[in-house]
């Protein structure tokens, strides 16, 4: 079957146009065509901006309460100050809207830090395992497989409880606590709890990325560019960081975006069960936990903190799906 000349010319013109673009431009063009991913990206950018600007947007302090104004409806105006409770108040009169924004800043910061740390560990472990192979690969991958067989949630609860109740078990530098406290607007004690939750989540989150990196590196280490680097005298460290890791980042980027959804839910689950940052400091998880007593009489209360968790999880999954399609070289532009 012959291809018409006009169609062949169009194919050649499209191929030339694609070749003229950088890999980043090609990926962005593919990603933009994924409508759900673009909508999800816009929603997450809006959520990040709103949570970052929480101190300037909210009219109530996060711990400001009025026991006489508990469970007021949406849009109620405070008679004394004229300020509006856009989402009502909780059981002790604290403004839900203010607490929701501050909680989002904390929950999303924990998720982002957990992803950065876990992906970094997974990249290094997977790259070393796949590049060297042999007994190094066997030891590292058997450990990863063993960790994956353990039920995650019970182990998270046990380790979180141990770390949070023993302050001296893991010493955390004051500089780290200060940076985390400034990002999440927390005091030293609550910043320490946030750091410990990040450590716990990242400690279990790197396993899948290590497997992904190992598999990609295994397919790359026999390529001609690796042999060329060796013949030019490049060291193993140089080859791993200069060639292996950059060429294996596509699945890791997708895994990181999908992992954000899991970390948002995991942090909320730990806070819901009484671990991590607790009331009066708000997170989406402990706000959801506080509604348990009243949810049958006021069924809309769990929706206030529960809806952001659902939206963020859904958006991160759509973004990951869009990145997977955009980074797949087998798909057409």
Cα gap 276→121, rounded to integer Å: 22
In a domain, 1, yes or no: no
Domain contains 104? yes
Does 120 reside within a domain? yes
Residue 21 lies in a domain: no
Provide the Cα torsion 92, 93, 96, 100; round to 10°: -50
Asked if residue 118 belongs to a domain, the reply is yes
What residues are paired with 77 via a beta bridge? 84
- The answer to whether the peptide bond before residue 94 is cis (omega within 30 degrees of 0) is no
Residue 59 has pLDDT above 60, yes or no: yes
Question: Is 18's pLDDT higher than 70?
Answer: no
Structure tokens at 143: 């450990």
**How many domains does one find in the chain?**
1
Angle, nearest 10°, between helix axes 35-52 and 96-132?
A: 120
For residues 111 and 96, is the Cβ–Cβ distance under 8 A? no
Q: Is 10 inside a domain boundary?
A: no
19 vs 260, more confident: 260
- 124: pLDDT confidence band, cut at 50, 70 and 90? very high
With a pLDDT cut of 90, the percent of the chain lying above it is 21
Phi-psi region of 142 (alpha: psi -120 to 50; beta: other; left: phi over 0): alpha
Domain extent, residue 259, equals 31-326
What are the tens digits of pLDDT across the range 258-280? 889 999 998 888 888 887 788 88
Q: Is residue 271 part of a domain?
A: yes
Q: How far apart are CA 254 and CA 243, in angstroms?
A: 19
Q: How confident is the model at residue 42 (pLDDT cuts 50, 70, 90)?
A: very high
CA distance 94 to 292: 17
Question: What pLDDT score was predicted for residue 279?
Answer: 81
Q: Give the mean model confidence (pLDDT) for residues 99-118.
A: 92
Q: Is residue 20 part of a domain?
A: no
Average pLDDT of the segment spanning 119-137: 91
Which of 330, 242, 328 is closest to 27 using CA atoms?
A: 328
Please tell me the pTM assigned to this model: 0.85
DSSP state of 76: E
Which CATH number covers residue 211?
Answer: 1.10.3720.10
202-233 per-position pLDDT tens digit: 888 888 899 999 988 888 888 888 888 888 88
């Amino acid at each position: 079957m012959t291809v018409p000349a006009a169609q062949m010319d169009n194919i050649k013109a499209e191929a030339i146009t694609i070749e003229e673009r950088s890999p980043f431009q090609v990926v962005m063009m593919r990603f933009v065509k994924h409508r759900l991913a673009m909508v999800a990206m816009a929603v997450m950018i809006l959520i990040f901006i709103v949570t970052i600007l929480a101190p300037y947007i909210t009219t109530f302090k996060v711990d400001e309460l009025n026991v006489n104004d508990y469970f007021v409806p949406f849009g109620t105006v405070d008679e004394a100050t004229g300020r509006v409770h856009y989402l009502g108040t909780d059981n002790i009169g604290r403004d839900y809207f203010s607490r929701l924004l501050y909680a989002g800043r904390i929950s999303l910061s924990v998720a982002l830090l957990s992803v950065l740390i876990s992906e970094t560990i997974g990249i290094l472990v997977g790259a070393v395992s796949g590049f060297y192979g042999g007994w190094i690969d066997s030891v590292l991958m058997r450990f990863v497989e063993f960790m994956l067989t353990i039920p995650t949630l019970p182990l998270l609860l046990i380790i979180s409880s141990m770390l949070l109740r023993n302050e001296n078990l893991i010493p955390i530098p004051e500089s780290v606590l200060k940076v985390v406290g400034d990002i999440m607007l927390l005091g030293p004690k609550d910043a320490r709890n946030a750091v410990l939750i990040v450590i716990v989540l990242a400690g279990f989150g790197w396993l899948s990325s290590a497997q992904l990196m190992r598999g990609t590196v295994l397919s790359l280490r026999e390529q001609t560019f690796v042999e060329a680097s060796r013949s030019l005298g490049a060291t193993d460290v140089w080859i791993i960081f200069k060639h292996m890791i950059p060429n294996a980042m596509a699945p890791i980027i997708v895994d990181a975006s999908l992992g954000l959804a899991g970390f948002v839910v995991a942090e909320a689950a730990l806070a819901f069960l009484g671990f991590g940052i607790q009331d009066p400091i708000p997170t989406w998880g402990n706000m959801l936990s506080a509604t348990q007593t009243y949810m049958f009489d006021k069924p809309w209360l769990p929706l206030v903190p529960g809806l952001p968790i659902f939206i963020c999880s859904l958006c991160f999954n759509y973004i990951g799906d869009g990145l997977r399609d955009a980074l797949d070289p087998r798909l057409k532009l």
